[in-house]
Every structure is written in structure tokens, then in C-alpha cells.
């Protein structure tokens, strides 16, 4: 997220965890946001790398780690944060090495593309490097919105 949104971000996260964990006596509901997870918050210096979350902006990084075992639990865990940030108008760029939102969701493909000013340049370079989509998996086809018969 842009560094200038960090104070708002921290207030939103504090409220989220307070409501979900500290004030909630129902152990089942507490676990969905807090059990087996670690949250790391740190600053990131701006960079010129097109698809970096810190492209041309100093940023605050929120690294959400899940130690749960199933993909379904992990995707559900991450989605609650993407929704939280989106609803609270905290713009965010995601790390490409982790789970991404469902491409058709409000925080999915269309949202992600708008967050990267050099998106179209990247897509042109990707096409030049792989004109026949040999390295394009079904997952990345859906995430990037590339037409390819799979």
C-alpha cells in the first residue's frame, strides 16, 4: 500500500483484529482471522520494477502468512483482507508469488490491472517473450485475462 495510507491501514487492522479476536468470545469465529497466522508490517522503498508493489511509490508492506494446510482455508483467509482493504479504500498491489484473488472478484483481475501503471507495457513484453503462450498455465491465463484455448 502507499506509505501515506499506513496510518489508516494500521487503524483498520487494529479494529479488525480487535473485533475478530479480543472482543469475540466465540472460539470458532476467532480462529478464522487469527489462528495459525502471522502478520508482518514493514516499509518498502520505491522501485522502478513495473510489477513491484512499490513501483514508483514508497510503500508499507503487509505480509500475511498462513500456516493452515488446505488451499481453501488459505484463500478464504487472504480474501477477508483483500475485501477489508478494498471496502476501506486502501489501494493495494499484491505480491505475485502468493495467492491472488479470484479473477472475477472485486479485488481480482480488473482491480489488480488498474493498480499497476505499466500493466499494458508488461503485457506487451510478456506476449513478445511468449508469443505462443507456451508458458501460460490455466491459473495465469485466468489471472492475467489472456485469451487462450486451454
Nine-digit cell string for 26: 466465540
* Global pTM value: 0.81
Write down the pLDDT at residue 31. 46
Mean pLDDT over the full length of the chain: 86
- pLDDT at position 32 over 90: no
Per residue in 45-98, pLDDT (tens digit) is: 999 999 999 999 999 999 987 776 677 677 788 899 999 999 999 999 998 888
Q: Where does the pLDDT of residue 150 fall: very low under 50, low under 70, confident under 90, or very high at 90 and above?
A: very low
Its sign, for the CA torsion 84, 92, 99, 14, is negative
Question: Cα separations (Å) of 23 from 55, 59, 69, 85, 87?
Answer: 38, 30, 27, 21, 22
Amino acid at each position: 500500500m502507499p506509505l501515506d495510507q499506513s496510518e489508516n491501514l494500521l487503524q483498520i487492522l487494529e479494529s479488525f483484529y480487535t473485533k475478530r479476536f479480543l472482543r469475540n468470545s466465540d472460539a470458532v469465529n476467532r480462529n478464522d482471522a487469527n489462528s495459525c497466522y502471522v502478520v508482518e508490517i514493514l516499509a518498502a522503498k520505491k522501485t522502478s520494477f513495473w510489477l513491484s508493489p512499490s513501483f514508483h511509490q514508497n510503500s508499507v508492506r503487509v505480509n500475511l502468512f498462513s500456516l493452515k494446510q488446505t488451499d481453501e482455508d488459505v484463500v478464504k483467509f487472504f480474501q477477508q483482507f483483500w475485501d477489508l482493504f478494498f471496502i476501506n479504500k486502501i489501494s493495494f498491489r499484491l505480491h505475485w508469488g502468493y495467492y491472488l484473488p479470484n479473477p472475477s472478484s472485486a479485488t481480482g483481475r480488473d482491480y489488480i490491472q488498474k493498480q499497476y501503471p505499466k500493466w499494458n507495457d508488461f503485457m506487451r513484453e510478456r506476449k513478445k517473450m511468449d508469443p505462443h503462450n507456451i508458458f501460460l498455465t490455466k491459473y495465469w491465463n485466468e489471472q492475467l485475462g489472456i485469451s487462450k484455448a486451454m
